Structure 1
Amino acid sequence: MESQPTYCRITDDLCSSNGQKIHNTQKLPAQQWFRFLFDHLELEYPKFHKMDGLSKLGVLGVEFLKTVESLPTETDEIAVVFVNKHSSLDADLSHQEQIEKGSASPAMFVYTLPNIVLGEIAIRNKWYGEQQFFIKNEWPHELIHEYIVTIFELNKANRIIIGYVDYFQEKTDGKWVILTQDQFNNEKIREEINTFFDK
């Protein structure tokens, strides 16, 4: 039986990972919701609590993928490509507000680049492979397709984690999938993934 990709979805009120669902029934604000999911995973990673919202969301998505599919550490064979619409604007605005108050924090400034979330994931998992973060208003089907083809053709990775990771003003929108080359070569699976990211 052909293997199927591993999916994860996190919104303001739902976390779903290959059919397993956790509902935000208490209507927790985003940061409390992230903490709830962190505790649910029983993670021991104090650095998580110092991250901005975008990085927390990205780390949580990958951690939920790992509850379904075992992923190695200390490897360069996992590539990660993320997309979002708001870049790091949430952290940018917070940092600007601190500047205007005369109390800008270097800890916040660190997160005023969207690709920092990739760094946080790489550091936690010791992944040394290809990483890319695209800023697009809509899911860039052709761009992502070309990126995946290139990674696999050049043997840069044997798995790719593709994600839409957007966090802005308490709005959470995260989607992730782990993809192997065999899965990517299956037209039906490619269509399913396109539908997943178009929702």
Structure 2
Amino acid sequence: MLYIHHVVSLSKDALIADGQVLHQLQGDSFSETITTLYRSLGISYPKFFKMDLLSKAAFLATEVLVQTLGDIEDKDRVATVLTTSNGCMDVDEKFEASRTELASPALFVYTLPNIMLGEICIRNQFKGEQMCTLSEQLDIPFTAFYVTDLLQQRNTSACLCGFAEAYGDQLDVRLIWVSAEPKGEPFTPEQLSRIFN
């Protein structure tokens, strides 16, 4: 049996961990809101300011989840499985606009949707399996199967799993931590539907 230990969500209104509102959010733009949240969390990671909006949002939600976990043993065996709807569309549009003069290498780095996984894994030293899928919403049956397979068959000790979207007027990050340690809610399709639908 696998278990969901923690749930963290970030929207344009609030940052919530395990049902508790940690920060009410306000701001003229998502970029401003995200930067204010970064500062209020007391994080010191200068590379944050170079990231695209999707990476920043997923990064901050992960920071809160990791702080909730405390010490993580065997980071070499932590998998990261995230889904996004529009991926890096925000930075793709900015990169395309930059090509009219001189294409921006700083933007080009973020023109892959899975870059958010890289940012999270570099920061936290997670070295397990990584996968980023593109879908309008989290594919519950596939995610349940894939994460279960990772944890039961692929030498994975824990999995950071979820959905991340930051584009246009949408800011929606929902992350869970899954492992075989008997703690929290059972990791079932029904629980995933409750969290992600």
Do these two structures clear the TM 0.5 threshold for a shared fold by scoring above it?
yes
CA distance in 1, matches of 2:52, 2:73: 24
How many angstroms does 1:71 deviate by? 4.3
**Does the 8 Å CA contact 1:82/1:165 hold for their aligned counterparts?**
yes
With 49-58 and 168-177 compared, the bigger mean Cα shift is at 168-177
Residue 52 and residue 74 in structure 1: after superposition, are their counterparts in 2 closer, same or farther (change >3 A)? farther
Q: Give the root-mean-square deviation of aligned CA atoms.
A: 2.2
CA distance in 1, matches of 2:115, 2:187: 33
Which residue is equivalent to 1:27?
Answer: 27
How many angstroms does 1:28 deviate by? 3.7
Deviations 1:28-66 (A, max 9, x none): 411111111111211110000110001101110100102
**Does the 8 Å CA contact 2:144/2:189 hold for their aligned counterparts?**
no
In the alignment, structure 1 segments of 5+ residues that lack a partner are: none
CA distance in 2, matches of 1:159, 1:141: 18
**Does the 8 Å CA contact 1:95/1:104 hold for their aligned counterparts?**
yes
How many angstroms does 1:4 deviate by? 5.6
Q: Percent identity?
A: 26
In the alignment, structure 2 segments of 5+ residues that lack a partner are: none
Q: Which has the higher contact order (CA 8 A, sep 6+)?
A: 2
CA distance in 1, matches of 2:55, 2:149: 26
Residue 49 and residue 188 in structure 1: after superposition, are their counterparts in 2 closer, same or farther (change >3 A)? closer
CA distance in 2, matches of 1:14, 1:82: 20
Which residue is equivalent to 1:127?
Answer: 126
Residue 82 and residue 132 in structure 1: after superposition, are their counterparts in 2 closer, same or farther (change >3 A)? same
TM-score, scaled relative to structure 2 = 0.89
**Does the 8 Å CA contact 1:115/1:132 hold for their aligned counterparts?**
yes
**Does the 8 Å CA contact 2:83/2:137 hold for their aligned counterparts?**
no
Which residue is equivalent to 1:192?
Answer: 191
How many angstroms does 1:188 deviate by? 7.4
Residue 161 and residue 82 in structure 1: after superposition, are their counterparts in 2 closer, same or farther (change >3 A)? same
**Does the 8 Å CA contact 2:82/2:161 hold for their aligned counterparts?**
yes
